[in-house]
A and B are shown apart, each in its own frame.
Chain A
Amino acid sequence: MIDPGARRTAAQCRHYAMCKIDYLGTGVCASGPEKGFVAYYPQGRMDLYRALADGLVPVTEGLVDAAESCTLCGICDLQCHFVTGMRPVAVMRALKSFVRKHLDDGKPVQAPAADPVLERLRAIAGPAWATNDPAILFTYADDPFPLAGPRMPRFAVLPGSREEVAAIVSLAAELDIPYAVRGNGGSVFGFVFTDGIVLDMGRMRRIDFDVDNWCVSVGPGVTSFELQREAARRGFRVNAAEPAATVCGNIVCTGTFSPWSNVYGTASDGFVDMEFVGRDGKIFRLNDKSAPNVYAFEHAVIPSPGVCTEAVVKLHPVTADEEAVLVPFEEFGEAVAFARDLSARRIALALAVLGGHYVSTFMSPSESLSEKLKDVLPGVLGIRYLVLAVVDAHGRAAIDRMAASVIDGALFRTLMLGLPRLADGELVELVRAYEGNRAPFEFLCSPGMRTLLETALSPSPGTIAGSVDEDLRDAYARLYARPGMTDMVWLTAFRIVSARMSRRKHMFAFLVYVPLDRMEIIDDIIAGFARIAEAHGIDHDYGFLTPMDFGKRAILEYDYYIDHADPAERRKIAGAMVEAVPWMDGLAASTKGVTFLQQVFSQGCSRKENFLYRPGPFPAREGG
């Protein structure tokens, strides 16, 4: 009955929720927006099949409905393959077959138990938007986060307005039922599970622009991708998180950071105002004089201000001459110094130091191509680090003067669309034998090489599509024919390839704010993460670094990779954390400018200055 291959695929779902947003312009699974609950999206059905296979849920009415609402349209295959390389349609098919046979065999289908609390929740949100069906609930019980096990909620509810949120929170307070708020996708820190009520904010998707005030009001169900798309349509840009992350959730949890944080900042820099439902069920806005002071920051784990029901997000201008460039480096220190210089001189908009492996993964539509490229970029071309910079024409001219080699938009497009030939061709073998004094990438990036590269790589949507499964090639060719797919500015704004970091294995990210003028501290932190990972047999790699606040500080990501479906791998992370947490706490306590993102959790509305800087102690003032 259970297809082992489909079960394996289902267990590998990363909960990145990319199947819940229309990031490829294919539309999304039709039943998802209609029914709302995660179970009606491919992500939820993957969980349901895993749960059935492992005997974690019975066949319930909700499960049958979720399975039968899938039309096997195939949209999720392309969506999921684009970031994870997985093909979920096989799981959808297996789930539907399982349910069909179950019904054909006349086996029982469990109806949800009657529950007076559920009735009250339905009275608030509407009968269709609250459930206690165990299968539907299971899709809110678990994440790939390796440090928390499944936790089944009693209810899942999708409120449609702030008043409904307030009523639900009041009910929870009245009945002393815990609750947790879920935005979209998975949780970085595993803090979104409860055995009480899950509030899924997916119905509250309102986006209202106030262009005169350079801001946009966003409901808590709106994702970063959707907001960026709407902003772009109007000629603006926002500082966006990963595409499937909800805007409000992201701000509340950690504050939004991205390569754009170089100029747009993070935390309270990102919004004009926010609205919350407090734990007492009362609605307040941050601009209220009587509102809690969430702009302050405390080095402690503290609860969020409440359930966010609206964020008024800042809009930023876009100029017509923007372009993105990549500046390659062999040494990390050189790349960081260059990025810091750009930030201090106010040259770049978006800015990040990316690892060669990171970029290989982003650029490659398949894991096998990515693995080859990981050898080619650092190994052959000497590109171990790349500084990504979105700049205007003035910034571009400055970078051309400052950098030995620049991969501009046109060259990036050539490399990206010709990637399979770059990874496999004789060109790389020729460069491998290059004996000149310049770094191989300088040779490759020289202006004289452009036409030769185009001839050698034959860049086209068809060429890059040749690196994926044969039946997906036409779809990929159509996809890569779109300008945005090879436009680094677009890709940096919409961040649709960042989820590819989890393609090979689930990614466990450490994020830390660091003093950018203290390279030795940054090196020590990276070495510390690497040492702990090695000691516990965990795959690991540098992620990225983005300068902030004119190059005074930066946010650094270091990543561990684990197979979250393998208990042994989960134990490795648990073991590593026993070592990592005291080390991180000690480092943060003793080093000015070092703050781990875990310490910012649920304080994402605070002023960034309050966690980036810890002034003093200053000498006592003279006199009284």
Chain B
Amino acid sequence: MSAPATRFLLTGGTGFLGSHLAVALLLKGHEVSLLARSLKNRPARDRVSALLDWFGLPEESRRGLRVVEGDVTRPGLGMAPGPLEELLLQTDGIIHCASDTSFSARKRAEVEAVNLGGLSNVLEAAAAGRASFFHLVSTAFVAGVAQGRCAEEPAEPAAFFNVYEETKCLGERMAMAACREAGMRLAIYRPSIVYGDSRTGRSLLFNALYSPVRAVLFLRDLYEKEIRERGGRKAAEAGVRVEPDGRIRLPLRIGASPGGGVNLIPVDYFTEAFLAVLEGAPDGGIFHIVNDRVTTIEELVGHTSGFLRLTGIRACAPGDFAAAPRNAIEALFESYVEPYLPYIRDTRRFDAANARPLLEKRGVRCPGFSYDVFERCMSFAVECGWRSPLP
């Protein structure tokens, strides 16, 4: 089946998801106008070029690429009226991927500026142009504070866990209203938590799933160093020791909720699923791009313990902390991963009735989150020092 549009304007193309989409679209022969900013004295074109080099995208596949200097947070996408009009005339579909994924309430202004202000600017441009299709990359977590089944429908939760969820939900409503008014088709893509490439472990971003693992690695290294270089008095006080087999015992309980877990998808699956929906849903709609099977805390603990050669980490019932208060390690860990706790202990179940048939038709399946996948991804993160591998 051919794609519903071949000339795309892509926002957020230098970000984690957007860059994967850009590469996938170019490999499929689409034309992509990639809106990007110059940052830290690096022109947008150079940034994009470095990104595509990292992906190893061959030169011949870059022929359909046009880098457009712009900024979604500015009116008119930060472009002069003439070039913007010209760009929009040559655009069949807009893929809006630009997003601020911060969860922190302290960053509300920045998050709103991108997730609401930026979206509004893009929608305004879209309405003024010729694009007939608007593709909005949102999140499954627009479901907000909820339990059980979450449908592929407009979300109207009573509350949200964070500003990211809130602005993405408001963004969906904004897009629905604007597209309805402009007579544009709208597809909303709602991924769950996206990690690196399941086949290679490569990633551009190391938040979400990576943060708790990074915190545990920090604690392990901290005490191991103290034991090896300074006698280990602090480690002993914290109950940390070296096991006879060389592993480090780190006394860390992680509160779990019954039936809870984390919904994880690798970026390669997200990309394939996005394309399947893009090409298979000519009338648009709302699509959950999620994993049918959540990963439990016990599984994550097992993966982490194996990867970092640790003992002593275990999932526990929240009531455990009432009986035995948190130790210093647990206090740090829980404070640090507090923004992610709703996702680790998630009991929301994302229905994929709209997406599933399209994915099955294309044979797109979400890989399981096995130890091998975990190890590949975390090894890459450690190799990168938990920082973006891009210059």
Q: Answer yes or no: are A and B bound together in one complex.
A: yes
| Interface flag for A429 (CB, 8 Å) | yes
Q: Tell me whether B215 and A430 are in contact (CB under 8 A).
A: yes
Q: Check A455/B226 contact, CB under 8 A, given A430-B214, A433-B386.
A: yes
Contact A437 B328 (CB under 8 A): no
Query: Which residues on A sit within 8 Å (CB–CB) of B222?
Result: 426, 452, 455-456
Interface residues of A in 320-334 (CB under 8 A from B): 330
Q: A610 an interface residue at 8 Å Cβ cutoff?
A: no
Report the bound CA distance from A449 to B218 in whole Å: 14
- Contact (A436, B335) CB under 8 Å given A451-B328, A454-B234, A455-B234: yes
List of A residues within 8 angstroms of B335 by Cβ: 436, 443, 446, 448-449
B338 cross-chain contacts in A, Cβ below 8 A: 436-437
A434 within 8 A of B: yes
Verify B105–A437 contact, CB threshold 8 A. Answer: yes
The reply on A435 being an interface residue by CB < 8 A is yes
| Residue in A436, A439, A451, A458 whose beta carbon sits within 8 Å of that of B238 in the complex | A451
Interface size class of A (residues with CB under 8 A): 20 to 34
Q: Tell yes or no: A427 within 8 A of B by CB.
A: yes
Is B174 an interface residue, CB under 8 A from the partner? no
Is B339 touching A429 in the complex (CB atoms < 8 A)? no
Known: A436-B104, A443-B336, A451-B237. A458 touches B331 (CB 8 A): no
Q: How many residues of B contact A (CB 8 A)?
A: 34
A399-432 vs B: 1/0 string, CB under 8 Å?
0000000000000000000000000001101100
A331 CB → nearest B CB, Å: 11
Q: How far is the CB of A479 from chain B (nearest CB, A)?
A: 22
The binding surface of chain A is classed by DSSP as helix
A443 to B238, CA, bound (A): 19
Taking the complex as formed, is B223 at the interface, i.e. its CB lies under 8 A from any CB of chain A? yes
**From residue B224, how far is it (CB to closest CB) to chain A in Å?**
11
Shortest Cβ distance from A450 into B: residue: B328
Known: A433-B386, A443-B335. A448 touches B326 (CB 8 A): yes
In the bound complex, how far is the Cα of B338 from the Cα of A448, in angstroms? 14
Instruction: Report the nearest B residue to A449, measured CB to CB.
Output: B332
Q: Which residues of B contact A454 (CB under 8 A)?
A: 234
Interface contact A455-B332, CB-CB below 8 Å: no
User: Bound complex: CA of A435 vs CA of B108, how far in Å?
Assistant: 12
Partner of B329 from A382, A435, A452 at Cβ < 8 Å: A452
Q: Is B106 an interface residue (CB 8 A)?
A: yes
Q: Which secondary structure dominates chain B's binding surface?
A: helix
Q: How far is the CB of A155 from chain B (nearest CB, A)?
A: 57
B103 is an interface residue with CB less than 8 A from chain A: yes
In whole angstroms, what is the CA distance A454 to B339 when docked? Answer: 25
CA distance A426 to B385 in the complex (A): 10
In Å, the complex CA distance between A53 and B58 comes to: 63
Taking a contact as CB atoms under 8 Å apart, the answer to whether A436 and B339 are in contact is yes
A:180-202 near B, CB below 8 Å:
none
B230 interface residue per 8 A CB criterion = yes
Contacts of A434 in B (CB 8 A): 336
Assembly CA distance A141 to B219 (angstroms): 59
- Which residues, 141 to 194 on A, are CB-close (under 8 Å) to B? none
| Other-chain contact of A448, B214, B226, B328 (Cβ < 8 Å) | B328
- CB-CB under 8 A from A452, the residues of chain B are 219, 222, 328-329, 332
**Nearest CB in chain A to that of B230: its residue:** A458
B 271-301 binary contact with A (CB < 8 Å = 1; else 0):
0000000000000000000000000000000
Nearest chain B residue, comparing its CB with the CB of A437: B105
Cβ-defined partner of B211 (8 Å) among A330, A435, A449, A450? A435
Question: Are A448's CB and B106's CB within 8 A?
Answer: no
B185 to chain A, nearest CB (A): 34
**B153 located at the interface, meaning its Cβ lies under 8 Å from any Cβ of chain A in the complex:** no
- Shortest Cβ distance from residue B189 to the other chain A in the assembled complex, whole angstroms: 23
Find chain B residues with CB under 8 A from A433 CB.
206-207, 211, 214, 386
Q: CB within 8 Å of A: which of B193-237? A: 206-207, 211, 214-215, 218-219, 221-223, 226, 230, 234-235, 237
B336 near A451 with CB under 8 A, answer no
Q: Considering only CB atoms, which chain B residue lies closest to A330 in the complex? A: B106
For residue B102, CB closer than 8 A to chain A, the reply is: yes
Task: Write out the residue numbers on chain A whose beta carbons fall within 8 Å of the beta carbon of B207.
Answer: 433, 435
Chain A residues with CB below 8 A from B326, complex form: 448
A residues in contact with B102, CB < 8 Å: 435
Q: Which residues of the partner chain B approach A455 to less than 8 Å between Cβ atoms?
A: 222-223, 226, 234-235, 238
Residues of A near B235 (CB, < 8 A) are 455
In the complex, A454 Cα to B235 Cα: how many Å? 11
Cα distance, A450 to B237, chains bound together (Å): 13
- A435, A436, A446, A454: residue with the most chain B Cβ atoms closer than 10 Å: A435
A455-B234, A458-B230 given; A437·B104 CB < 8 A: yes
Residue of A nearest to B387 (CB): A429
Chain B residue numbers with a CB within 8 Å of A456 are: 222
Which chain A residue has the least Cβ–Cβ distance from B221? A426
List the 5 closest A-B pairs by CB distance, nearest first.
A448-B331, A455-B234, A437-B105, A435-B339, A451-B328
- Ordered by A's residue number, 25 sampled pairs between the chains whose C-beta atoms are within 8 Å are A426-B222, A427-B218, A429-B385, A430-B218, A430-B336, A433-B207, A433-B211, A433-B214, A434-B336, A435-B103, A435-B339, A435-B340, A436-B335, A436-B338, A436-B339, A437-B103, A437-B338, A446-B335, A448-B326, A448-B335, A452-B219, A452-B329, A454-B234, A455-B222, A455-B238
Other CB < 8 Å A-B pairs besides A430-B215, A433-B211, 4 of them? Answer: A436-B339, A448-B326, A448-B335, A452-B328
